[in-house]
Every structure is written in structure tokens, then in C-alpha cells.
Amino acid sequence: MPQLTIDGKQITAPVGATILQVARENGIDIPTFCHHEALEPWGACRLCIVEVDEGSRTRLVTSCNFPVKEGLAVTTKNKSIIAIRKMIIELLLTRCPNAQAVRQMADKLGVTGTRFPIENEFCILCGMCVRVCKEIVGAQAISFASRGGNKKVASPFFKRSGDCIGCGACVYVCPTQCITMNDVTEATDVYAEGTEQVGYARVMNNWRTRLPLKVCKSCGNPIAPEFQLQVLGKKAGLAPDALDLCQGCKE
């Protein structure tokens, strides 16, 4: 069990833990934007930088993916760290001036405004939606497209995703709530000849995907997207008719 100090506090940490985990367990707050306990560390937002001293020299590292070591001395707050965090949040505030989570974090870090020309984005490219879709759901329906200033999260070719199961995990993890989905009772297909009502559907607004909802065989209420039930049923090895009833009718 490695011994280390964080902000002068002597701590014994479990092997393989990251600085961020150990700090949070010991009540030391480090701000993060792209970290989630259920996901692999990513190190994209850089807000969690800390200074580590391994004996000979100090350096700045991202605490979310830096494993603890014997004799490590960590500083989570000093002049240069605060200056860097302020700069990062100021740039995020420039990109997403209307995102609530960004504003709150800016407020917390004492940044009131930005000196750069503002944009009106909501996505901070933390990659949590992409990662949850890959690591937890396993659908890999969405990915990053392009790079640099044009980088964005998108479904393949900005069209309907054939892999999306409409689980809403991406909606749940998104820190800025810029991914939305909603269930509609009367989805409509529009053709040149006219329109067709297709009934209950779940719409994933950001991924341009609409999934028909399966209705309960007994009461006729919508349960979940048909494709999702197919995929999950297959994964769990259930009988094809196992998911035909809603929770209420099953009981």
C-alpha cells in the first residue's frame, strides 16, 4: 500500500488507485469535467491537474489518470494550478457561455467573464457520451468526427445511426445536458404522397435517430424501443417473448 501526501496530509492509498480517487475519498476537492466513476479515465478536460513531486522535481499532471506511487507528494492547489484552471474554464466559457454546468464551474473557480469572442456551443467535447456508448452500452453508435476546431460528436455521416439502441446513457452522462431525447406518442413519416402515422417512438435528437417503441401486449402502453429490447434480450439470452409485457402487466 503506497504512502503519499496530498496537500500535506499523510495518506495510505490502495494499489492502482489514481490521485483523483484518493483525493476525493479523503475529502479533497479537485474539479473535473470529463471524469465519471463508471468510465475509464480520459484526461481531456485538464481541469484536474495537480502538481506532483517525485523527489527530484515537480511537474503538472492530470490527477484522473495518474496512479499513486510510494512517496509521492501532491499539491492540488497553488498559484500556477489555479491560473491554469482559470484559463481552461475561461476558454470553455468562451465556447459554451450558455451551458449551465460551465457557468457554475466558472463561478466556483472565480472566473466571471471571458476576454475572447464568444461562441454559442453547448458541447464541451468531454467525450463521456462516446465513452459510455462504447464502454458501458457496447453499441458504439456515436463517435467523434473531424478534429481540431471542427471536432464534434456525431452519429456516422450525420445520419440515422443503425447501432443506437435508444438507451439514453449519453443523455444521462452529458454534463452540459446538450444531448436530448424524447418519447412521442404519434410519430409521423412524411412522403411525397402524404404522411403515415407510425405510432409510439423514441427520438434521439442529436443522433438524428428515431426508434419505434414496443407496446405492451396486454395493456398497449409503450415499454421501450423495440431494437433495444431485441439487443438486450439477445445479450441476456432471454426467450423472444420474454419482454412482451410491461412491468405493470408482468406483476
Residues of the shown chain interacting with another protein in the complex, contacts defined by CB under 8 A: 139-147, 154-157, 159, 161-163
Contact 161, 175 (CB under 8 A): no
Tell the smallest beta-carbon distance from residue 97 to another protein (Å).
Answer: 27
Q: What does the block give as the cell for 188?
A: 409521423
Task: Specify the residue, 181 or 246, whose C-beta has the smaller distance to another protein.
Answer: 181
The least CB distance from residue 239 to another protein, in Å, is: 27
Q: Identify which of residues 156 and 168 has a Cβ nearer to another protein in the complex.
A: 156
Other C-beta atoms within 10 Å of 131: how many?
A: 20
User: In whole angstroms, what is the distance from residue 175 CA to residue 123 CA?
Assistant: 9
The span from the CA of 16 to the CA of 23, in Å, is: 14
Residue with smaller CB distance to another protein, 127 or 222: 127
Least CB distance from residue 35 to another protein, whole Å? Answer: 22
Q: Is 49 in contact with 61 (CB distance < 8 Å)?
A: yes
Nearer Cβ to another protein (162/248):
162
Cβ contact 141:48 at 8 Å: no
Q: How far is the CB of 104 from another protein (least distance, A)?
A: 30
- Beta bridge partners, 187, equal 199
Alpha-helical segments (H) within 144-225: 169-173
Q: How far is the CB of 58 from another protein (least distance, A)?
A: 32
Q: Which is nearer to another protein, 76 or 206 (CB)?
A: 206
Is the CB of 144 or the CB of 172 nearer to another protein? Answer: 144
Provide, rounded to whole angstroms, the least separation between the CB of residue 192 and another protein: 23
* Distance between start and end Cα atoms, the chain: 49
Instruction: Let me know the angle formed at the C-alpha of 35 by 30 and 36, rounded to the nearest 5 degrees.
Output: 120
For the bound state, the minimum distance from the C-beta of residue 143 to another protein, rounded and expressed in Å, comes to 4
Phi, psi values for residue 136, rounded to 5°: -95, -50
| The three-state (H, E, C) secondary structure of 73-127, written as one string | EEECCCHHHHHHHHHHHHHHHHHCCCCHHHHHHHHHCCCCCCCCCCCCCCCCCCC
Q: Which is nearer to another protein, 32 or 155 (CB)?
A: 155
